[in-house]
Structure 1
Amino acid sequence: MRAVLEGLEQRHGTALLTQRTRQVVLGSYVALVVLLLIGGLQLQAQSSSGLLPVLVRVLPLVLFFPTLYTRRPRGHAWLAFVSLLYFMQGVMLATLPGKTWLGLLEVVASLALFVSSMLYARWRSRQLRG
């Protein structure tokens, strides 16, 4: 795997790879937030707990917004680890009747966020080192 990533770096350069992975990070981040809002609003409609289900689902991702804005590699690595929580939640949702599509979409978005965040952290830190 390391040889493949180093080959990509030599072929395309870290600047281009960093730019492309950042685009995927932002796209998957937005997709995951939208999916979490949809799931939270559906859950809120079923119970009378107010906006708490929406807040509990979206707040951990919203806390990483400054990291995305400042483009810090370490923050992107932490975002990748937090996205695995949403992967587990998506797998659990996929087992519920009537929520399979939402769970599978959440799994795909969280996996895309995980992979792209880790790659962005790798290539951005190498880019900053020089």
Structure 2
Amino acid sequence: MIVASGLGWVMLGGALGGVARVAVSNTLARWIGTAFPWGTLVVNLSAAFLIGLAAGILLSPDLSTTPQAWTLLAAGLLGGYSTVSSLSLQTLSLWQEGRLLAAISNMTISCLGGIALAAAGWWLGGRLG
């Protein structure tokens, strides 16, 4: 019953997305360090690209979109994977530490880069779909 309503797809995707977010963030922290929130930045930018790609493929007028696929990918997997709350808290922490340029850079790159990558993903998905 839950799966039929779409909530099951959101739960499944959210669980997988959350695990992927932690894995990517922890891996980048080990490789690059934690002086800047690289993990959250990479997660959010890659999520923006992937949601654009999914939209370009799944929402193509020539393709019969299943609501379950979109619910699983967009609301579930990518919703659980990307993390605006972490972005906000990490940017606030940078600001409070007096690292104003790092805080502004984090927000600017995340927001503008996210829009650009969502557009690139949409474009690529439209070509692939």
The verdict on a shared fold, with TM-score over 0.5 as the criterion, is no
**TM-score of the superposed pair, with normalisation by structure 2:** 0.33
